[in-house]
Amino acid sequence: MQLVAIGVAIAVGVTLVAVRFQWLPTSASVEFDRIQDVYWLATVISIGIFSLVAAVIVYSVWKWRVPLDDDRDGPPIHGHTGLEILWTAVPATLVIIIGVVSAIVLARNGEAGTRPLQVEAIGQQFAWRFAYPDYGGATSGELVLPVGREAEFTMKAVDVIHSFWVPQFGQKMDAVPGIETTILVTPTRTGEFAVVCAELCGLGHATMRARARVVTEPEFEKWIAEKRG
């Protein structure tokens, strides 16, 4: 019937918006691949719920709109226990599903492999510095990572809170003065990316960027050897 037609039309429209535009950056890490799965799960559920609500509103207004001077009342429907139980239980189930999937992805994104590359990311107004403790503490203003090898970042902040973020890695973690925080990134493709500070850190926050380069393992070894020089 008409309600279903309106609902389907809205769902198709919203779905086109969701898939025609590339909403997420092309993933460059194993972790972001998993996050994108959760993202699409949430998107499917969201499209369903939005289409349902929007369709009922559009249909109701279209079907039951009356002129402003109409002074009759609608039918005195006070509620419906079955429906109310239904729309308590169904959303609860859906969010629990999202919650469980999210918790699994979170746990897997937090499992360090056997031999992760240790990287320290040090935030200071308004620049990033990266140190490689496995390689004699070599430091660099540029982040270089070997492709396919898990990197375990330890964040440190010198002055105020900063936040380490590479949009294509999908991982983000604040660097907090006084404590050390960690996050894992396993790059899946070579290329150049931007390290962005995501936490307001003062006057130069917008310009607090660094270059991240993902290279092959031999290239990395060569680069790090030069750094240790």
Partner 1 sequence: MTTTHPDQRETMEYPAHYEPPRGQAWRLFFGPGLVRGLWMGLLFFCLGMLLVVALRTWWGWDPAWLWPVIWPIAGMVTAPVGFLAGIGAFDYWLYYISGRPTRPEDHSGHGAYSWRDYFRVNTDHKVIGIQYLVTTFFFFTVGGLMAMLFRAELAQPGLQFVDSQAFNGLVSAHATLMIFLFIIPAFAGIANFVVPLMLGAPDMAFPRLNALSYWLLPIAGFMFLASFLAPGGSFAAGWTGYAPLAEGQPLGQTFFNMGVQWAGASSVMTALNFLVTIITMRAPGMTFWRMPLLVWANFTTSLLVVIATPFIAGSQFFVMFDRILHTDFFIPDGGGYVLGYQHIFWFYSHPAVYIMMLPGFGIVSEVISAFARKPIFGYRLMALSLVGILVLGFSVWAHHMFVAGMADWLRVPMMITTLLIAVPTGIKVFSWTATLWRGRIHLTTPMLFALGFVTMFVIGGLSGIYLGSVPIDIAASDTYFIVAHIHYVLFGGSVFTIFAGIYFWFPKMTGRMYDERLGRWHFWLTFVSFNVTFFPMHYVGLRGMPRRVFDYDAAFGDLNLIISIASFALGASFIVFLYNMVTSWARGPVAESNPWHAHSLEWQVSSPPPVFNFDEIPQVVAGPYEYGVPGARHAVMSPAKEAQEVPA
What residues from 127 to 146 belong to the interface with partner 1 (CB under 8 A)? Answer: none
In 3D space, the residue among 138, 147, 137, 143 whose CA is nearest the CA of residue 121 turns out to be 143
Regarding 187 and contact with partner 1 (CB under 8 A), the answer is: no
DSSP, collapsed to helix, strand or coil, labels residue 66 as coil
Q: Which one of residues 1, 114, 203, 226 is an interface residue with partner 1 (CB under 8 A)?
A: 203
Measured from the CB atom, the residue of 131 and 197 that comes closer to partner 1 is 197
Q: Are 47 and 11 contacting, i.e. CB atoms less than 8 angstroms apart?
A: yes
Q: Which one of residues 151, 201, 215, 224 is an interface residue with partner 1 (CB under 8 A)?
A: 201
Maximum distance among all Cα pairs of the chain, rounded to whole angstroms: 87
In 3D space, the residue among 30, 32, 36, 33 whose CA is nearest the CA of residue 170 turns out to be 32
CB of 140 to partner 1, least distance (A): 22
Identify residues 63-82 at the interface with partner 1 (CB under 8 A).
64-66, 68, 70-80
- Residue 146 one-letter amino acid: P
Identify residues 87-106 at the interface with partner 1 (CB under 8 A).
87-88, 91-92, 95-96, 98-99, 102-103, 105-106
CB of 206 to partner 1, least distance (A): 4
Size (the chain), residues: 229
